[in-house]
Structure 1
């Protein structure tokens, strides 16, 4: 595990073509460098800037650092299955602005396609897909005895939250985004909490997320209302790393990346005070996102090793909170469907869809035209149902 410094400025970088670090870059990376944004406000980047940056968040100037996550020396095979013919797939991928689409059914690779100049050897950023990885690390920490109970108060593990609106919030309420603490997750409002909290200056000696979140007021009693809150996933990350006394990336490598058999190196971006941004920003190959789905289908068992409690996914990947959408719900940082399927989702089109009934995993990466307000989200839901129907028809 090592940190990789990302403190270069894109605009200035192009003026340093003779510098040793620049001369060492390949042609693709130099091309990306020319298009990269010069600020770290992802939500305000243009489409071309996002196309360039989403595949390079950990290796080009995005004013961040990342820790590396080593792959397994025994990658989980994805043997080729009978190719899945999907009518209209080219038009679908173009409309999604898809970078990667991997479909695995019954453990076999049935479809794999890439776009936007991306490919199987690249790493695309996850955005909130990382939330589902972070919650799974809570399960691992419970199995390892570092977290005693989901009924424990969050402030037992993060003492700086004592006296705040989070003082009376349980680990379970944090996992289900039902803390009752006020939060604005509007991705298109530059003054929203989700746009502001990563840039806020932390109090001296305190984690940046904790410093921001402990100042927020209460809106509802704990457990009463579901409200989507990325800051709370970042708190979960602080909680896990504090409990296990390891960086999240190291724990992810030990408990998931290597045991599950991930094929490629991954990275996890760091916030201002050196903690991984737990609600976001794991960079990984699309096939390895699909392998995470296979891990869920295996009920958290990897190579005969039970990584999370045997009943973990029975709770984590099933509806714990109503979200106001018929047929849908929220588990422990997973989006649930009443048919038993579950999904990890990130803005701009990142996703892992898992259907236990059909032993189906669909991993996708994209750069949608808008974070989550455009037509692509519903079109992807239709696509999921289309693939399910194809499987049912023997396709």
Structure 2
């Protein structure tokens, strides 16, 4: 993975890709989600349930209002010798949704690519941060006793593998020490093969694949980006709670956070939600996720969903060795003054606690990632931050 970092990093943020073969298309011959045309992106990103097998994360109860602020922002910014308005940036960089919350109020909300406010949009690896949050909920509920618990306590099929001696916290830090190849250009890499076939009847395919991998480093010593382990954490949450990820996310997030629409979660070949990828969520509900973390993991009516210590710990650097500076949290990317959930093709939830700011971007970039695409988005985010400060 280390040799790939220069191509995939910008401003210390890795834009993570999912395994392309680990889900079931509804129609034979459906092209990989990594290689959809612009027309397919616009048609299918808002309607992933028409392409792949999915489960539903049910909402319920009153919708949490996101009122409009008294004043809205409409920043302009310069990038690569050109001045952009928000509308021009969205047009040129294929942005389907841009939402900015300041103090829990909407200061900017725009849609593009034919998307409407009630339309969902696929998350790619932003789902990893949701899965991490469900670990926190499972600790609060007593399903997971401690982050120091061995992973094998919850996924006994991993006993006798490279995961012996690895704890839950080390999985969340992507530092299990198990050897892994996340080269998206190599069809023989782990990321290309993990979960792509049922290897053992009755055993989740990602578990079957991961338990055959050797140990490369001592647990907890080095960061190695590993999409397979985020799917593995999803399996762990389901085994610990005795519930599907969709059901548990409904109980702990979608209902108590007052989400406005059901979410969709892509399934793996065994019919289990992918812990590392591919939820479909409305723009405002992405914003509610960011606001929930900003507010310390408290839901409707002040009910605590996450342990009091969880959000501060999950969104601060937990490992630095081989991680993009300033480090990596629990499936959250660190910023110098905040944190972010990130997904390929331009998906992000950026949260700046001191500014009480949440910035959500949904896009359909022409390629999964790239320095220029990331740099342009960073310039836009910086302009939004400044405009929000000036309100």
Give me the TM-score of the superposition, normalised by structure 2. 0.88
**Residues 43 and 188, structure 1, Cα contact 8 Å, conserved in 2:** no
Q: Match of 2:106, SS?
A: strand
The correspondence for 2:59, drawn from 71, 74, 87, is 71
In the TM superposition, residue 218 of structure 1 has moved relative to its aligned partner by: 1.7
Task: Give the equivalent residue in structure 2 for 1:176.
Answer: 173
**Residues 290 and 362, structure 1, Cα contact 8 Å, conserved in 2:** yes
**Residues 174 and 223, structure 2, Cα contact 8 Å, conserved in 1:** yes
Cα pair distance change 1:324/1:197, threshold 3 Å: closer
Describe the superposition over 1:304-323 as per-residue Cα deviations: whole angstroms up to 9, x where unpaired.
Answer: 10001001011001111226
Describe the superposition over 1:216-255 as per-residue Cα deviations: whole angstroms up to 9, x where unpaired.
Answer: 1222111111011111011101101000000011000000
In the TM superposition, residue 209 of structure 1 has moved relative to its aligned partner by: 0.9
Equivalent-residue separation in structure 1 for 2:34 and 2:150 (angstroms): 32
Q: Given the alignment of the two structures, is residue 50 of structure 1 paired with residue 41 of structure 2, yes or no?
A: yes
Describe the superposition over 1:163-191 as per-residue Cα deviations: whole angstroms up to 9, x where unpaired.
Answer: 11112211000000001112222333333
Cα pair distance change 1:325/1:216, threshold 3 Å: closer
Q: Which has the higher contact order (CA 8 A, sep 6+)?
A: 2
**Residues 187 and 371, structure 1, Cα contact 8 Å, conserved in 2:** no
Task: Give the equivalent residue in structure 1 for 2:160.
Answer: 163
Equivalent-residue separation in structure 1 for 2:35 and 2:189 (angstroms): 13
Structure 1 stretch 140-149 or stretch 182-191: which is displaced more?
182-191
In the TM superposition, residue 368 of structure 1 has moved relative to its aligned partner by: 1.2
**Residues 221 and 321, structure 2, Cα contact 8 Å, conserved in 1:** no
Give unpaired runs (5+ residues) of structure 1.
1-5, 11-37
Equivalent-residue separation in structure 1 for 2:271 and 2:141 (angstroms): 24
Task: Give the equivalent residue in structure 2 for 1:252.
Answer: 249
Q: 1:262-273, aligned counterparts within 5 Å? A: 262-273=259-270
Q: Match of 2:259, SS?
A: coil
Equivalent-residue separation in structure 2 for 1:186 and 1:92 (angstroms): 30
**Residues 43 and 187, structure 1, Cα contact 8 Å, conserved in 2:** no
The correspondence for 1:240, drawn from 237, 261, 283, is 237
Give unpaired runs (5+ residues) of structure 2.
1-23, 77-84
Task: Give the equivalent residue in structure 2 for 1:118.
Answer: 115
In the TM superposition, residue 51 of structure 1 has moved relative to its aligned partner by: 2.8
Equivalent-residue separation in structure 2 for 1:215 and 1:355 (angstroms): 40
CA RMSD of aligned residues (A): 1.8
**Residues 319 and 337, structure 1, Cα contact 8 Å, conserved in 2:** no
In the TM superposition, residue 113 of structure 1 has moved relative to its aligned partner by: 0.8
Describe the superposition over 1:275-295 as per-residue Cα deviations: whole angstroms up to 9, x where unpaired.
Answer: 101101111101100000110
Equivalent-residue separation in structure 1 for 2:271 and 2:86 (angstroms): 41
**Residues 95 and 376, structure 1, Cα contact 8 Å, conserved in 2:** no
Give me the TM-score of the superposition, normalised by structure 1. 0.87
Equivalent-residue separation in structure 2 for 1:125 and 1:86 (angstroms): 26
